[in-house]
Amino acid sequence: MGPAENVAIMRRAYEAFNTGDINTLTELFDEGAEWHLPGRSSMADDYKGRDATFGYFGLLGQRTGGTFRAELRDLTADGDDHVVGIQHSTAERDGKHLDVRDCIVFQLKDGRIADGREHFEDLYAWDEFWS
């Protein structure tokens, strides 16, 4: 698939994530997909497989009372099945407010998300929110 098709896939994925559309996410994520979250928080880990990745997504909603949002700001793609999503993440939790900019480098394989690697403008703020 080309860059335009990959960007379209990722737009669908962001919309599905933010609306809790698990059927579309299941369609878009490879069964062996991996997710990599840096830092020292309780959420930091390498999630191996679609089920583990979706488990992480579920924790984002569960631990924030459904307030977590990943507001897509931009998507850009190369010719090698990589798409970078620039986003603004917000949430409320235990009297804390999350407000960080971050990006995710996605790798697609045969039109499905195979890997996601999150990078934060302020990793300390992300870690503090989850502590």
Indicate the pTM of the whole model.
0.94
- What are 14-71's pLDDT values in tens digits? 999 999 999 999 999 999 999 999 999 999 999 999 999 999 999 999 999 999 999 9
Residue 80 has pLDDT above 90, yes or no: no
- Name residue, tokens 């798409």: 83
49 three-state secondary structure: coil
Question: What pLDDT is stored for residue 1 in this prediction?
Answer: 79
Strand pairing category for 112-120 and 96-109: antiparallel
Which among 103, 85, 84, 109 has a CA at the least distance from the CA of 31?
Answer: 109
Domains and CATH numbers, the chain: 3-130 (3.10.450.50)
Quick check: helix, strand or coil at residue 130? helix
Quote the mean pLDDT of the chain.
Answer: 96
User: Are residues 130 and 43 in contact, defined by beta-carbon separation less than 8 angstroms?
Assistant: yes
Rounded CA-CA distance 31/113 in Å is 9
Spatial neighbors of 28 by CB under 8 A, at least 6 apart, are 9, 12, 13, 16, 112, 113
113: pLDDT confidence band, cut at 50, 70 and 90? Answer: very high
Give the pLDDT score at 82: 97
Average of per-residue pLDDT across 81-107: 97
Residue 128 pLDDT > 90: yes
> Positive or negative CA dihedral for 99, 101, 107, 110?
positive
